[in-house]
Chains A and B, each alone.
Chain A
Amino acid sequence: MNLIKFLDEFSNENLVNGTSSRREIFGTFSSLGKKAALAAIPFGLSTFANKAQAQSMDNAVNALQLALTLEYLEDEFYDLALQSGVISDSNVETVYMQISQHEQAHVDFLIAGLEGAGVTPVEKPTFDFTAGGAFDPFNTSNPAAYAQLLALAQAFEDTGVRAYKGQASNLMGTDFLTPALQIHSVEARHASEIRRIRGLKGWITNAERGDGMPEATQAVYNGEDNITQGGVDVTSLGSGSPFGMEAATEAYDEILTGNEAVNIASLFIVS
């Protein structure tokens, strides 16, 4: 499936008209991807009995295609970062290498899971990490390259956390939910580490992108200042600092909708 076509479908919220027929998916859903089988994780959807469940299955597949798109983005970013020669700090290189391994594993895992479920994974897009010339993170002759390389990593990781969270409800009732949650918390570990390398807190305060983050990344942080959780204003629960605005927003990461995540990723996708 062509990625741009997929993103268009996602952006149009045309989520139930996937290219794979339901019949095709039903027929192969019990088979496991190779990687998934090795991990002893039941990575596949259970049989769906009615139309509502079929629709939820389509939503789940679209959620995973979006996840794969974001993982392609991260995976290529860290590969290029490590190859660029821009990172001179060996500690930071160690961190990037660990993250790079995880993103590669996520790509492989999602591809195996989708294929195991009889779905054709989206193709890897062509990325432009300059975002049309705004950045030049892999160029050793760019004095800002290292700072940009860290800032982009932060933006991608914080996006990943919010995007997976936004797809959780689309994965409810499927065997994809638990592995997606397991990826989600790994992205959060990455985000915390990158943020702290950059001198920030590991968590997001209000809707602040943080010192040194380009304004173009603000979309990653919009909405993080939400204080209403399940109808409860979490600044009003008790007294003292745990319920101030900063702590109350830091204590909860917010979702990105599929469209919001697509819009952020699209800044770095050429085709």
Chain B
Amino acid sequence: MDVFSRRYLYKLKNSTTMKKEVVRVQQVKPAKNRRQFIKMSGLALAGAGLIMACSDDDDGTMIDPNPEIFDLGSGDLGVLNYAYALEQLEADFYTRVVNNFYSGISSDEMTLFTDLYNHEVNHRDFFSAAISAAVGSNTEAKLPTLEFDYGDLDWNSRDQVIATAKVLEDTGVAAYNGAGYLISNPDYLVIAGKIVSVEARHAAAIRTLINPGSADFAGNDVVDGNGLDLAMAPSEIIAAVSDTGFITTPFTATQLP
């Protein structure tokens, strides 16, 4: 699916509809294993046609939420868990990059990817600490450690690694921009702001690696005619991420727009 569709503007304004779609994710069944579940989730979220097909199923057992599936929750905690999921993905991706640099990597690019690894691991562990502090003894409200599978991504391919990094960084920017208004604690909002601008710095650097000397660092594919970067609703981000199949641990976001 087109992660960077302009449809996000309308979807942001139509959160009720989006919530219904997300609710249906946890109704997708039966899933034989977790991997299959997340792939089905991605498909269901990616196209309304598939959701309709699912709803028309004759067995009538769709409304049966699986209590084993973690839900991100609502309010600030929901947003923190959401950010934690995305930072876990980025941190895991760059951990693999720096543990197996692609063939022929330059020293400059090695430094750059090591920086990105450091930043994202720090972000991930910050959210882990912040959520632990927020939930206190209610530890089951904290998103667990996720598992990942990048399929046939070739870690020795510069093109593939950089292209994936670009998607992850642009997605991170759009996700934070689209979730800021859901935050009610100003301290959390400012911290999200401190992180999103670093994600945007990453995105620009990665984009310039792909196309040096161009306008792509803030290209017209992500910045619109009003000079605004992307902002996407959590449901749309989760759908896009699910579609990649990278996250194999299932979770839902039934209480976020």
Interface size band for A: 35 or more
B217 touches which of A168, A193, A247, A248 (Cβ 8 Å): A193
When chains A and B are docked, how far (Å) is the Cα of A68 from the Cα of B7? 28
Complex contact B194–A252 (CB within 8 A): yes
Complex contact A192–B180 (CB within 8 A): no
Question: If A98-B218, A190-B218, A251-B123 touch, does A165 touch B193 (CB 8 Å cutoff)?
Answer: yes
A40 touches which of B9, B123, B183, B200 (Cβ 8 Å): B9
Complex contact A203–B201 (CB within 8 A): yes
Complex contact A230–B204 (CB within 8 A): no
Interface size band for B: 35 or more
Chain B interface, DSSP helix/strand/loop, else mixed: helix
B197 touches which of A38, A185, A193, A230 (Cβ 8 Å): A185
Complex contact A178–B177 (CB within 8 A): yes
Question: If A185-B196, A188-B198, A254-B194 touch, does A97 touch B215 (CB 8 Å cutoff)?
Answer: yes
Chain A interface, DSSP helix/strand/loop, else mixed: helix
Question: If A102-B218, A193-B217 touch, does A242 touch B201 (CB 8 Å cutoff)?
Answer: no
The chain B residue with its CB closest to the CB of A71 is B227
Task: Find residues 226-254 in chain A having any chain B CB closer than 8 Å to their own CB.
Answer: 229-232, 234, 237-238, 241-244, 247-248, 250-254
Complex contact B126–A185 (CB within 8 A): no
Complex contact A248–B178 (CB within 8 A): no
Task: Find residues 77-119 in chain A having any chain B CB closer than 8 Å to their own CB.
Answer: 90-91, 94-95, 97-99, 101-106, 108-109
Question: If A182-B230, A237-B129, A250-B115 touch, does A188 touch B180 (CB 8 Å cutoff)?
Answer: no
The chain A residue with its CB closest to the CB of B125 is A237
Name the B residues within 8 Å of A94 (CB-CB).
213-215
CB proximity of A161 to chain B, nearest CB, Å:
5
CB proximity of A28 to chain B, nearest CB, Å:
21
A184 touches which of B118, B121, B193 (Cβ 8 Å): B193
Leading 8 A-B pairs by shortest Cβ distance: A91-B213, A105-B227, A188-B200, A247-B118, A98-B215, A182-B228, A192-B201, A188-B197
Task: Please name 9 pairs of A and B residues whose Cβ atoms are closer than 8 Å in the assembled complex, sorted by A.
Answer: A98-B219, A99-B218, A181-B193, A182-B229, A182-B231, A188-B204, A193-B217, A202-B201, A237-B122
Binding site for B on A (CB under 8 A): 35-36, 38-42, 90-91, 94-95, 97-99, 101-106, 108-109, 161, 164-165, 168-169, 172, 177-179, 181-193, 196, 201-203, 229-232, 234, 237-238, 241-244, 247-248, 250-255
